Amino acid sequence: MRLRQEAIGLQWLALYRDGNMVSSAVLFVLTVGSICGEAAAERQLVYVTVLFRHGDRSPIKPFPTDPHQESDWPQGFGQLSQEGMRQHFDLGHFLRKRYKGFLNESYERHEISVRSTDYDRTLMSAEANLAGLYPPAGEQVFTPNLPWQPIPVHTVPQSEERLLSFPLGDCPRYKQLMNETENTEGFINVTTTYQDIIELVRNKTGLNNTNVETIWSVYDTLFCESCHNMSAPDWVTPDVMEKLRVLKDFGFQITFGFYKQEEKSRLQGGILLGEIVKNLSKMAVPDTKLKLMMLSAHDTTVAALQSSLNVFNGRQPPYASCQIFELYKDDNGSASVSMFYRNDSTVAAFPLQLPGCSLDCPLDEFVRITKLSISEDREKECQVPSKGRDKEVIVSLAVSGSLLLFLIVILLCVICWQKEPIGNRGYHHVINQDAREES
């Protein structure tokens, strides 16, 4: 409601500055009445889903000429740093403050469910977050002077992960879409524009396979090293880093959008969106005590989900960035969804508006709009379209037909052989014509 009042206030100020005082006065009276009416039917928060990226980490891998190798990192590659732990501890504090009065002050196992991908950095991020969200008090303190308590974080083996890890590589149609993306004019233009930096990286890093899609890993390694005050090679200038950042963000754009975004979403982030929408619909008629669903994952997860909602800003989600869904119910029983994104710990989470709906989007409208990005039969949609399959079908039919014809010929030969008289089979003397006539 506070966000709606702020929006109304901005509309009033804009009209006032335009000098349309009569219209402004009428609008002011109507909006004040609207606010008062809303106060009588106060929205009540009933359920929240938060998805966040893990915190600051060490690089996933070095490039061949990188002077900093795995021994330079306390826990090795791809691991959450102390700064990453602090980032999520702070995010937990933020969530505690935001949902004060909604969540119990102390941990209540029926109120929250936590799931993470099966990586050390995401599991540890969730745990650090929970430490900030639920500091123990009273009987939950099990060791004096330890402001922490164990809270369960659930996961599945990475080989079985189909909800929080994107892009999934089990979809032939998605691979085809990515191949088509590389042939679009926009992709070719970016490749041409940044060809010099791509060649520079190839020559300086020792990497052979360097292109628009793979160059992100070089930027990621250099970025992680700079965050931890490690020296960069001489060729890494501010201009080089900026160009690498642009290419890295472009990699996110082409992976989840840029070309046929809606179809890509249905095959990737739409999987997670479908689960979130299902939970929102279920919680609108609550029959459980669950209030908060917490999901700990990666930048690609956040980007894939936001792309499926058509609210992705085209930039890599930063460490500990958090996408929030809040489900509200009015006194009259109607439900609505509000979205927020926290990508900067120094400012408040800002609202996101689902295209085609209001900031406080009615649940039925939210379900209707997002349905376009949610596949009803992903396995079927992942099949290569008919044009590509026709050739496969023709080849398969030709091979099958040839085999069938061969078997028929063999079968006919066997039948004819069996019908031949026994006396005429095998070795026998040949009796000349004269002898037969004499007998």
Domain membership flag for residue 83: yes
Do 20 and 124 lie in one domain? The reply is: no
Give residue-wise pLDDT tens across range 235-271: 999 999 999 999 999 999 999 988 999 999 999 999 9
**Catalytic residue, candidates 90, 118, 120, 299:** 299
The helices-and-strands tally (H runs, E runs) of the chain is 16, 7
The whole-angstrom separation of Cα 435 and Cα 439 is: 6
Query: Is 239 annotated as catalytic?
Result: no
Do 11 and 122 lie in one domain? The reply is: no
Beta-strand pair 112-116/44-53: unpaired
In this prediction the pTM is 0.79
Q: How far is CA 394 from the centre of its chain?
A: 36
Range of the domain at 86: 43-397
**Catalytic residue, candidates 54, 68, 88, 298:** 54
Low-confidence stretches of the chain (pLDDT < 70) are 1-41, 386-401, 413-439
Do 82 and 180 lie in one domain? The reply is: yes
Query: In angstroms, how far apart are the furthest CA atoms of the chain?
Result: 135
Do 359 and 259 lie in one domain? The reply is: yes
As a residue count, the chain comes to 439
| Predicted pLDDT of residue 1 | 45
Do 269 and 368 lie in one domain? The reply is: yes
Query: Is 299 annotated as catalytic?
Result: yes
Do 353 and 340 lie in one domain? The reply is: yes
Do 23 and 140 lie in one domain? The reply is: no
Beta-strand pair 335-342/112-116: unpaired
Do 64 and 22 lie in one domain? The reply is: no
Domain membership flag for residue 405: no
| Predicted pLDDT of residue 24 | 43
| Predicted pLDDT of residue 47 | 97
Do 96 and 201 lie in one domain? The reply is: yes
Strand pairing partners for 10? none
| Predicted pLDDT of residue 396 | 60
Domain membership flag for residue 160: yes
Do 47 and 35 lie in one domain? The reply is: no
Domain membership flag for residue 435: no
Domain membership flag for residue 412: no
| Predicted pLDDT of residue 12 | 38
Instruction: Domain count for the chain, please give it.
Output: 2
User: Locate tokens 């196992």: which residue?
Assistant: 109
Domain membership flag for residue 428: no
Do 354 and 269 lie in one domain? The reply is: yes
Cis amide prior to 362 (ω within 30 degrees): no
Specify the CATH number for the domain of residue 223: 3.40.50.1240
Do 337 and 352 lie in one domain? The reply is: yes
Domain membership flag for residue 406: no
Domain membership flag for residue 413: no
How many CA atoms lie less than 13 Å away from 218 in the CB half-sphere? 35
Q: How far is CA 94 from the centre of its chain?
A: 23
